């Protein structure tokens, strides 16, 4: 079974049309047809069936697609490991960090890692936790720092510390003019991440559990860098980690909307793939977080 044939197969399966796949791969349609025929002959089964004007995977094709992606990732990791060893680039780390904690965590963590491993090459990805999890699963990241997720056999997760996320508003927000309860929050609009993000789902579930209307989201964004200015200049409510409120720049114009119902207790964790290449520098970083994670989560 040829790896190039598998790569072509994945693209054809993704597009669902042989002609368009040929255009994307810059290969002729007959060449792709022969590629699929070679795979089918080696497996003794059909991989595609007609679906209107396109094609779709058979049951055997669905299984091969799963295994092909796993194989391609394994090959990619093997190439990276051998290349790192040959070039002496063992200190190459691809780290993902949840946007809600990046600003108050990464500066101190990166400084400590560079002190311990001065030649390390650090590639940082800042995103919401759902995006990070997908990137880790696909092998694009070595490790991620994010709120603890439900147990997944593909990952190994190490809890670091407990923190809280809370509702925040501008210090001039009218909600602070009088006493307030959970129902009063429904009078205002919100800026929140997409429902794919765990913190957004948690907020929605709080209101549903109290038989209240879900928050009306006027601005949906997965970018936290502009949140402080947006919240400070509007009457929008939002939901942030308390450490972000305390330590990040520009947060002095924000204030916590203190309610027990909307205070989310969560566990921050570092996660790696259960099976996969972990560079020595990445392993060092994971050990630092497991041993002294709390020291990186401060505003000092």
Q: Work out the number of other CB atoms within 10 angstroms of the CB of residue 52.
A: 8
Q: What is the structure's pLDDT at 132?
A: 92
Query: How far is the C-alpha of 134 from the C-alpha of 295, rounded, in Å?
Result: 28
Q: Which tokens hold the place of 19?
A: 């002609």
Count Cα neighbours of 58 within 13 Å in the Cβ-side half-sphere.
11
Name the strand (E) or helix (H) holding 86.
Answer: helix 59-87
Looking at the DSSP assignment, which residues form a beta bridge with residue 168? 238, 256
Tell me whether residue 280 is exposed, middle or buried, using C-beta atoms within 10 angstroms of its C-beta: 0 to 12, 13 to 18, 19 or more.
Answer: middle
Q: Alpha carbon of 298 to those of 129, 151, 199, 277: distances in Å? A: 21, 28, 21, 31
Query: How far is the C-alpha of 94 from the C-alpha of 206, rounded, in Å?
Result: 35
Tens place of pLDDT per residue across the chain (300 aa):
788 889 999 999 999 998 899 999 899 989 999 999 999 898 999 999 988 888 999 999 999 998 888 888 778 777 776 776 655 545 678 999 987 788 778 888 888 888 888 878 889 998 888 889 999 998 899 999 998 877 889 999 999 988 889 999 999 999 999 999 999 999 999 999 888 888 899 999 999 999 999 999 999 987 766 778 889 899 999 998 887 777 655 567 899 999 999 999 989 999 999 988 888 888 889 999 998 887 886 554
Query: How far is the C-alpha of 127 from the C-alpha of 96, rounded, in Å?
Result: 7
Domains (ranges, CATH) in the chain? 3-85 (1.10.10.10), 90-162+267-296 (3.40.190.10), 163-265 (3.40.190.290)
Q: What is the structure's pLDDT at 258?
A: 95
Q: Which residues, in sequence order, are CB contacts of 105 under 8 Å at separation 6+?
A: 97, 145, 296, 297
The verdict on pTM exceeding 0.75 is no
Residue 138 · residue 112 · CB < 8 Å: no
Query: How far is the C-alpha of 257 from the C-alpha of 82, rounded, in Å?
Result: 52
Q: What is the structure's pLDDT at 213?
A: 95
């Amino acid at each position: 079974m040829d790896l190039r044939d598998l790569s072509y197969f994945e693209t054809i399966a993704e597009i669902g049309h042989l002609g368009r796949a040929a255009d994307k791969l810059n290969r002729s349609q007959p060449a792709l047809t022969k590629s699929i025929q070679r795979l089918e002959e080696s497996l003794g089964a059909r991989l595609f069936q007609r679906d209107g004007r396109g094609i779709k995977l058979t049951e055997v094709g669905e299984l091969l697609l799963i295994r092909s992606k796993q194989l391609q990732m394994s090959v990619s990791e093997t190439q990276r490991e051998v290349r790192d060893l040959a070039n002496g680039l063992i200190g190459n780390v691809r780290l993902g960090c949840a946007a809600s904690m990046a600003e108050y965590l990464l500066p101190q963590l990166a400084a400590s890692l560079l002190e311990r491993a001065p030649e390390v090459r650090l590639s940082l990805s800042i995103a919401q936790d759902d995006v990070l999890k997908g990137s880790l699963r696909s092998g694009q990241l070595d490790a991620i720092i994010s709120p603890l997720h439900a147990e997944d056999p593909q990952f190994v997760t190490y809890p670091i510390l407990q923190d809280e996320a809370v509702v925040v508003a501008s210090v001039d927000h009218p909600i602070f003019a009088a006493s307030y309860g959970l129902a009063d929050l429904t009078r205002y609009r919100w800026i929140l991440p997409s429902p794919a993000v765990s913190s957004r789902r948690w907020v929605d579930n709080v209101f549903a559990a109290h038989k209240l209307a879900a928050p009306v989201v006027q601005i949906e964004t997965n970018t936290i860098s502009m949140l402080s200015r947006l919240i400070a200049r509007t009457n929008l409510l939002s939901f942030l980690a308390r450490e972000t409120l305390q330590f990040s720049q520009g947060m002095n114009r924000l204030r916590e909307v203190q309610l027990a119902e909307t205070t989310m207790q969560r566990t921050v964790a570092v996660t790696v793939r259960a099976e996969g290449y972990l560079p020595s520098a990445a392993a060092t970083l994971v050990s630092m977080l497991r041993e002294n994670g709390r020291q990186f989560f401060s505003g000092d």
